[in-house]
Amino acid sequence: MYGLNIYQSGGELAYSSSDVTWNQVAAFRVGGGESVVHHYPAIGGIEVMTLQFLINDPPPDRAAYSHTVTVTVTESEGVVRVGGGSEESYILVLAR
């Protein structure tokens, strides 16, 4: 099992991050027109979810595009690729 396990003094499992909650792995900013790739060894082999928040309101005089976020998880790492958007965004990476 991956994640954080906390045991009571008698050996019983008191908390497991893999089945209780989503845990924040990272948060980062991506500018409009930028592309980034982040590697996270800690999320290899586990479930990953990303959220994207536009930092500013979409402009009224042109089309606004959010970034494409792609997550690839192998047994040894997780890779988050972000790009293709026209607007500045925050990306939140969660795992459990």
pLDDT one-digit tens code per residue, 56-87: 999 999 999 999 999 999 999 999 999 999 99
Range from 11-15, 21-25, 38-42 that averages highest in pLDDT: 38-42
Q: How many CA atoms lie within 13 A of 28 on its CB side?
A: 16
pLDDT of 27-36, one tens digit each?
999 999 999 9
- Calpha distance 91→51 (Å, rounded): 6
